[in-house]
């Protein structure tokens, strides 16, 4: 947001300035129709267009094949965790989970309500993702689930797991639209929008059409993929404002140069930061093995976990208008999240501060 504040929050995170300004400008009268988008009927032509364009733009940006459906759900990430299990595990089913961090663990625990959940490798404590050959995948599992980017520990998968015949399900809440990938390798992709994609209240599902018809009877209608698909994501009143903002963010990404540009910037920003950690000779320390480090979320400790020093860092950062740098309470320390809306300049200003802070406090 304007006035030189820089927001490094993981999520809800920064939204592009251009998107916020556009939304503000038309807040009282959406496209001069005389009503606010917040008052728009979900049965209106204006909303049908918002709904359709958001789907079309996401399809275009990710090159989603025509046999995949795009769904909009209430409920955010936690709702999606339940929805995945209830829609895919089948009666008396079993599923495999690759738990490499906290979000995949929460998803696995939620899924245990609905069937048998087996982990494909023991939970790593070091941030090391085992090589795919070391995964124990049950060929009869209804699906194999993983979280592509773990925001809390700062772990990102450098490969798409080869799940053979088992449908692959990925949570991409924190890195969708930050790099190119082949959607056709997946059965289902889920993402809550409040990180890279907009404002809270909306979950996105991209699903291969052959997987639509497997929901358990006890699945609530608002989480039922088949039903939501039949209603083209207007089963009940959708989270209209979140979908509207999501649509604006998609158009912003297209205007910036699409996924090529987002991926390039993401590499550039994360390299700048990781290089600064490396050059600090241990003053700033991230413990994730290099090949599994996240481009999006970079947690680190200062002086081997000196909490007083970390608090000093956070305080001085805020004086420089560098915000939302506190690490997640489960891991402590500092966390820098570099969502799409965070600019190279934002990261440049941050690393300059980090270098100065080290000089003054080492």
Least Å from the CB of residue 38 to a copy of itself: 4
User: Based on CB atoms, which residue is closest to a copy of itself, 199 or 358?
Assistant: 199
Closest CA to 190 of 96, 88, 67: 88
Q: Are strands 284-285 and 203-208 parallel, antiparallel or unpaired?
A: unpaired
User: Based on CB atoms, which residue is closest to a copy of itself, 3 or 359?
Assistant: 3
User: Based on CB atoms, which residue is closest to a copy of itself, 25 or 131?
Assistant: 25
Question: CA torsion sign, 262 to 263 to 265 to 271?
Answer: positive
Least Å from the CB of residue 204 to a copy of itself: 14
The Cα–Cα gap between 155 and 85 comes to: 23
Tokens at residue 348, please?
């440049």
112 is an active site residue: no
Count other C-beta atoms under 10 Å from residue 277's C-beta.
19
Least Å from the CB of residue 280 to a copy of itself: 27
* Helix boundaries (H) for 168-257: 225-230, 240-256
Q: Which of 57, 148, 171, 346 is catalytic?
A: 171
Strands (E), the chain: 6-7, 68-73, 94-98, 116-119, 144-147, 149-150, 155-156, 168-171, 188-192, 203-208, 284-285, 297-302, 322-323, 334-337
The Cα–Cα gap between 137 and 96 comes to: 7
135 is an active site residue: no
Give the H/E segment covering residue 306: none
195 is an active site residue: yes
Least Å from the CB of residue 61 to a copy of itself: 21
b/e code 48-84 from CB counts within 10 Å (16+ = b):
eebbeebbebbbebbebeeebbbbbbbbbbebbbbbb
Least Å from the CB of residue 108 to a copy of itself: 13
Tokens at residue 103, please?
């979000």
Q: Which of 103, 248, 326, 346 is catalytic?
A: 103
Q: Which of 14, 69, 195, 269 is catalytic?
A: 195
Which position has the token pair 């402590």? 332
User: Based on CB atoms, which residue is closest to a copy of itself, 75 or 187?
Assistant: 75
Least Å from the CB of residue 171 to a copy of itself: 13
User: Based on CB atoms, which residue is closest to a copy of itself, 27 or 289?
Assistant: 27
Q: What residue ranges bind a copy of itself (CB under 8 A)?
A: 1-3, 5, 7, 9, 11-15, 20-21, 23-24, 27-29, 34-36, 38-42, 74-79, 81-83, 86, 110, 113-114, 192, 194, 198-202, 217-223, 235-242, 245, 321, 323-324
User: Based on CB atoms, which residue is closest to a copy of itself, 222 or 309?
Assistant: 222
Active site residues per annotation: 103, 171, 195
């Amino acid at each position: 947001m304007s006035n030189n504040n820089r927001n490094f929050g993981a999520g809800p995170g920064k939204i592009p300035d251009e998107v916020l300004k556009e939304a503000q400008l038309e807040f009282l009268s959406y496209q001069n129709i005389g009503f606010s988008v917040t008052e728009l009927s979900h049965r209106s032509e204006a909303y049908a267009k918002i709904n359709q364009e958001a789907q079309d733009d996401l399809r275009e940006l990710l090159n989603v094949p025509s046999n995949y459906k795009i769904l909009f759900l209430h409920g955010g990430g936690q709702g999606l965790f339940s929805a995945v299990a209830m829609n895919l595990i089948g009666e008396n089913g079993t599923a495999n989970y690759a738990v490499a961090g906290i979000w995949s663990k929460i998803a696995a625990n939620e899924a245990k309500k609905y069937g048998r959940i087996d982990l494909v490798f023991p939970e790593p404590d070091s941030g090391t993702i085992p090589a795919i050959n070391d995964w124990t995948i049950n060929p009869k599992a209804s699906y194999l689930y993983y979280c592509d980017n773990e925001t809390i520990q700062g772990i990102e998968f450098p490969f798409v797991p080869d799940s053979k015949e088992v449908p692959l399900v990925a949570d991409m809440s924190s890195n969708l639209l930050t790099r190119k990938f082949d959607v056709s390798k997946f059965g289902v992709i889920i993402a809550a929008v409040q990180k890279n994609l907009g404002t809270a209240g909306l979950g996105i599902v991209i699903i291969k059409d052959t997987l639509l018809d497997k929901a358990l009877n006890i699945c609530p209608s608002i989480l039922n993929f088949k039903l939501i698909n039949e209603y083209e994501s207007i089963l009940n009143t959708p989270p209209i404002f979140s979908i509207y903002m999501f649509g604006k963010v998609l158009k912003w990404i297209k205007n910036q140069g699409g996924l090529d540009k987002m991926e390039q910037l993401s590499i550039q920003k994360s390299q700048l930061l990781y290089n600064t950690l490396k050059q600090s000779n241990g003053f700033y320390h991230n413990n994730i093995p290099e090949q599994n480090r996240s481009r999006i979320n970079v947690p680190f400790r200062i002086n081997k976990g000196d909490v007083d020093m970390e608090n000093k860092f956070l305080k001085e950062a805020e004086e420089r208008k560098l915000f939302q740098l506190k690490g997640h309470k489960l891991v402590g320390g500092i966390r820098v999240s570099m969502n799409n809306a965070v600019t190279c300049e934002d990261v440049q200003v941050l690393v300059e501060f980090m270098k100065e802070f080290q000089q003054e406090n080492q």
